[in-house]
Structure 1
Amino acid sequence: MSSILTNNGAMTALQTLKSINNDLSKTQAIISTGKEVASAKDNAAVWAISKVMESDVKGFQAISESLSLGESTVSVAREASEQITDLLTDMKTQIVASQGQNVDRTKLQTEIEAYTAQIESIAGAAQFNGLNLLTSGDDVEILSSLDRSGSNAPTASTITVERQNLSLTSTGGTAATFGGTAVTDTTIISNGGGNAGTAATVAAAGTQVVAIESVADGNSYRITLNDTAAGGNDTLGERSFEYVANADDSAASVAAELTNQIANFFSVTGESNYSVTRDGDEITLTNNGAGTVSLNAESATGGTAGVSAGGLGDLNDIDVTTDEGAAAALASLESMIDRSIDAAASFGSVQSRIETQASFVSTLTDSLKSGIGSLVDADMEEASARLQALQVQQQLGVQSLSIANQAPQSILSLFR
């Protein structure tokens, strides 16, 4: 039956042509954008995954910049440490020469002071973007990675760079008054679990731990060692070591300052009955002698911070113009050479680690980009073939619709 009101052939051809045109529009969009999944409507799940990965890529690009900045900072500190080590080694020649009796120690002292001034200049200038790792202060954290576990929020990982104090500057602050009428704060330092100001007796082969409990600008810290009592080693006498914290100090840096003072004194004087080490904010004194020693840790508030002598501060005290000074200088310099070597080695190790991490982050970023591409990028060869096929189908659809639309014309012949 033929009808001029309902043309089933035309309707079928029209629906087919609409479907072809819709597929053709999608294919053209894929070719123009280069993406199989360009928006959430194309494939919501794949699009969501790709966006999370893209955000991680941007995060790793920022991490790469952080690593580059950190590597440059550590590189400056390492090179400065190596140069300081070379200068200290050259200075050792002058100090060794001063051990003799028939040398001009005054001229040797002048050369030593010139070396000292150069070392101080290098230590002060070894900064990158305002950060100098050869001074005291908190350790530096360098952003190194962005860790993600499943659907959990990512967490940042860091590489810790320990400062290596090779400075020489020393300007005295004003310590708070200890004992007597002063108010002693017994919460900012712990003497082996006891309150500040409580003396402890360290027996032969024994140890004693002093912990820095808290730090604030102007807090004063003092450790006093005394082995003159009956049964003591009686080689040290009574010695006090003090430090006044500033606003940039941490518990670890205060402990480091006090440890360095004590260790330097032992080195310069040749004291072998005692040794001192630090672990974070804890200072451990070890009694290597046969007798005892008294350790008294005190703290007080209300001081004025200065700039303490750095790790090479003993260079300022070297004086080879006397027999005693020349002998002490040799022992002191050996300790400082070891310190500068350790500093350079520490920076070198960290720099190598940063370089390795930077290479990994670069490779990881490329892998993430490849993964995103495999999810959302279009197969252009396939898209090209599909486009040509759809264009042919479109032409056939138009032709088919044209034929279907002409069918009712044949009915007119029945009425002639």
Structure 2
Amino acid sequence: MKRPEHIIEDLITRQLDGTPLTDTERRELQEWLEASEANRDAFLRAYKAWGNARLAETRFNTGQALENVMARIAEASRPRSFLRPQLRRLGIGIAAAACVMLAVVGYYRLQPSTVPDIEMFIRQADTPVFTQKEVQLVLSEQKTLLLETQKSTIRYDSTAIRINNAEKTIPKKEAATFNQLVVPYGKQTTLTLADGTRVWINAGSRLVYPVVFEKQKREIYVEGEIYMEVAHDAERPFSVHTGKMDVCVLGTKFYISSYGRDRTQEVVLLSGSVSVAPAGRSDRGIRIVPGQQAILDTSESLEVREVEAESYISWIHGYLPFDNDPLSNILERLSRYYNCRIECTPEAEALTLSGKLELKDDPAEVLKILSATAPINLQISGSGNFRIDYNPTTNNPN
């Protein structure tokens, strides 16, 4: 027996609001979801609206959403009386989401199905683990590939996913809508997306992207450090989301650093033009030109600086440059790259160095080279950790 529509709407609202459902109600909702693709699409849209309303006002204009939804309900000549208990029971943010959900069930259900939103996928995906040895390519909930090579290459073409120059080929039909690439500490990966865009992913980074981009837009999500060469497509702007920052381009070359534990996030432009804004705040976006760096701080303020852009992507060529940089900054980058602990005395941290280091496979080799050219002593523990002390008797060629 088909349940009245307003009962299904109530079940979805309670499910999203966290109100417990009985076993019978859960079965009813599950049966409704399994009944058609349109029902599942309606629920996905409701989930997205609910999540956005919960995040922050900057991510969801609740007043405008409510106004738009009520207009659509009126156009469809649907009764509004049952909305009032929902609005009283839920907070204003959730009320707006509930209204969006109701309109989705009653109005959007008739519209064509769309690809699930990348932000929804991010919320549902497992937290990545960067400490394991292999690169993880998550194709679906049931299929994850582990890549053991130091520098892996992955390419998506019209029919398949080709890994390490077609050493392994996966039919695209085996992959879900969104794939996830997790690059552990000490490794790098090069990825070619379906539109021809190339992405270099540094150690300790995560990338989420669609197997096939939508017709109107291209968007990916990143945590960590990447360099991109975006394939030009005037009809489909390319957006990169970090959770705190949105970067929008058409076709260009740029670098992003968005490690979760850093207080700032940054974009460096090598060619073309990009717009940078706090997440969900395109009205506060700024445009930078090649040779400029945009820095987003914890207060969501953006600062622009002139920089030597090429130095920010030196890691894709296997070396780390530094120009009168504090030793503390150099060691922080090495510690992140190799996932190792490097203790350093305050006197040594204050040293400034210039030059470049080759990023060898073994961090001990890199630190030994550093200690041979700077007034420091290096100690290596049995557990693979390092300690650096200031040694003024060592000659510093700089």
Q: Same fold (TM over 0.5)?
A: no
> Using CA pairs below 8 Å that are at least 6 residues apart, which structure has the higher relative contact order?
1
More strand by share: 2
Compare the two structures and name the one with the higher helix fraction.
1
Structure 1 length-normalised TM: 0.22
TM-score, normalised relative to structure 2: 0.22
Which is greater in Rg? 1
